[in-house]
Amino acid sequence: MDCIEVGSEDCLYINVYSKSLTPLQPLPVLVWIHGGGFYTGSGNSDFYGPEFFMEHDVVLVTFNYRLEVLGFLCLDNEDVPGNAGLKDQVMALKWVKNNISAFGGDPDNVTIFGCSAGAASTSYHLTSKMSKGLFNKAICQSGVCLNEWSYNLYAKKRAFQLGQLLGKETEDELELLDFLRQLPASSFVNIKLPALDVQHKDMVDSIYFGPVIEKSYLKVEKFITESPYDAMKGGKVADVPIIVGYTSAEGIESARKINDLLKYLSNVGSIVPREIKLKVNSDVVKCIDQKIRDKYFNGKTITKNMLQELTDLFTYSLFTYNIYRFAKYCAKINSNPLYLYKFDAETERNYAKGNYKMDHLKGVCHADELPYLFNVTCLDIPLTDNSIPIIKEMVGLWTSFARTGNPTESRNITWKPYTSKTKNCFIISKTCVCCENPDSDHIDFWEEIYANVFDGDTKCNI
């Protein structure tokens, strides 16, 4: 078989791992959606090795989908309405539905799961009509559609910027499309676009191409038809069992770039979430900005010595609060249980924090739970007496959920569902425990800000 080329549209391959093609009973199916910010990554076995899952009676599926320009270019027309990469995912799920029985899998017991952009994708499938009936459970690890990095507000601007970068000055979308079609796919790999000329600049603007709301007037099948907030608020979420969670220090991934961020962070409003800035006036933005600086930096100027403080800010503003917000909406809407977790295990398999030279910071970095689910062979990550029990615990939780909808079915510990009253959260660490709202100090702070903006009078009276 020829090697798959990075940057090629010839990437739509599915990997299926099964212990038996003819089991006594059809096996639960877990379908992994890889992350990578919608611009990088793959479902390849060098990072997502199946060995840990194959110790259980399940079928594991991984796959690729088109990324960045090839997967998320949007011109707001019927030729390029956007979300091609997400529609690739739908096609993969349809393939699983129609064919997985040939690999011993149960097409009526499919769990989709992913991390980061893969988790956001998973949550989009929960809200999209295109995905209805293609899965039965979902697991979102460190990402949901409410996270501001998971959707693009300026896709068409980015498309014309791309044309300019590659040598085409035009404001005509069909002319641009004709030009882009003549270029080799390699032209769209590792591109660098300038900052957008928009009212509010945000950290997430560095994700040039991603999910978009497809225009209602287009006569094409649409994957996303409204904002994630409107979809969640309107109760348009598949009523299936869900696991959603986060690592204890998601923000290390962003805070490590502190030297590049200092100038940007000095601007008023830079640390205010984008969806808030778009809803309130500049005076309210200024007020909220100061509230956040008082909370995380004691009102002081942000310096390169504030890595821990910046990590805490980014953990909750870019990831964790909106994961709780997602959990809150689902628990309110759905009859099926939602399980919330916090991953806080640290052993030799936590590779990202060390790779970033951030070992002195507290907590578990974004995506550092992945080596506890998958056999990562492309990195030098040891398998030790410290990590093996956590691997067995986590894979056991995930496969139990895939099998029954309950992650602790027939296990010696109980993971209670999240509800609006109890806010149960399962801490995955060397010793697992279920507790209520372990990050209440941060979550309550952001809840007050968001509630005031989205449910109040948009004045800064918090």
User: Of 34, 42, 68, 116, which is the active-site residue?
Assistant: 116
Query: Does residue 175 surpass a pLDDT of 90?
Result: yes
Q: In this predicted model, what pLDDT tens digit does every residue of 280-333 receive, in sequence order?
A: 999 999 999 999 999 999 999 999 999 999 999 999 999 999 999 999 999 999
Decide which of 3.40.50.300, 3.30.590.10, 2.40.50.100, 3.40.50.1820 is the CATH code for 1-240.
3.40.50.1820
Mean pLDDT of 454-461: 66
pLDDT value at residue 195? 83
Q: In this predicted model, what pLDDT tens digit does every residue of 350-399 receive, in sequence order?
A: 999 989 999 999 999 999 999 999 999 999 999 999 999 999 999 999 99
Query: Does residue 459 surpass a pLDDT of 80?
Result: no
Strand 424-428 relative to strand 105-115, pairing:
unpaired
Rounded distance between C-alpha atoms, residue 71 and residue 9, angstroms = 9
Told to judge if 200 belongs to the known catalytic residues of this protein, a careful annotator would answer: no
User: Of 34, 366, 369, 400, which is the active-site residue?
Assistant: 366
Q: Give me the residue label for tokens 């425990």.
A: 433
pLDDT value at residue 198? 66
pLDDT value at residue 196? 81
Rounded distance between C-alpha atoms, residue 417 and residue 243, angstroms = 9
Domain parsing of the chain, residue ranges: 1-240
Told to judge if 250 belongs to the known catalytic residues of this protein, a careful annotator would answer: yes
Query: Does residue 99 surpass a pLDDT of 70?
Result: yes
Q: Tell me the pTM.
A: 0.96
pLDDT value at residue 10? 77
Rounded distance between C-alpha atoms, residue 348 and residue 370, angstroms = 13
Are 451 and 366 within 8 A, CB to CB? no
- The phi-psi region of residue 204 (left if phi > 0; otherwise alpha if psi is between -120 and 50; otherwise beta) is alpha
Q: In this predicted model, what pLDDT tens digit does every residue of 408-421 receive, in sequence order?
A: 998 889 999 999 99
Share of the chain above pLDDT 70, in %: 95
pLDDT value at residue 6? 57
Kindly list the distances between the CA atom of residue 319 and the CA atoms of 75, 219, 325, 442, 446, in Å, as whole numbers in the listed order.
Answer: 29, 34, 10, 12, 12
Residue 122: both structure tokens together: 């998973």
Question: Which amino acid does the sequence have at 307?
Answer: L
pLDDT value at residue 462? 53
pLDDT value at residue 1? 39
Of 94-98, 174-178, 320-324, 451-455, least confident by mean pLDDT is: 451-455
User: Of 250, 309, 346, 393, which is the active-site residue?
Assistant: 250
pLDDT value at residue 12? 94
Residue 103: both structure tokens together: 């690999």
Mean pLDDT of 265-291: 95
Query: Does residue 224 surpass a pLDDT of 80?
Result: yes
Q: In this predicted model, what pLDDT tens digit does every residue of 46-69 receive, in sequence order?
A: 999 999 999 999 999 999 999 999
Share of the chain above pLDDT 90, in %: 90
pLDDT bin (cut points 50, 70, 90) of residue 274 is very high
Told to judge if 116 belongs to the known catalytic residues of this protein, a careful annotator would answer: yes
pLDDT value at residue 358? 92
Are 120 and 146 within 8 A, CB to CB? no
Name the average pLDDT for the chain. Answer: 94
pLDDT value at residue 412? 86
Residue 165: both structure tokens together: 């970068």
Question: Which amino acid does the sequence have at 128?
Answer: S
Query: Does residue 75 surpass a pLDDT of 60?
Result: yes
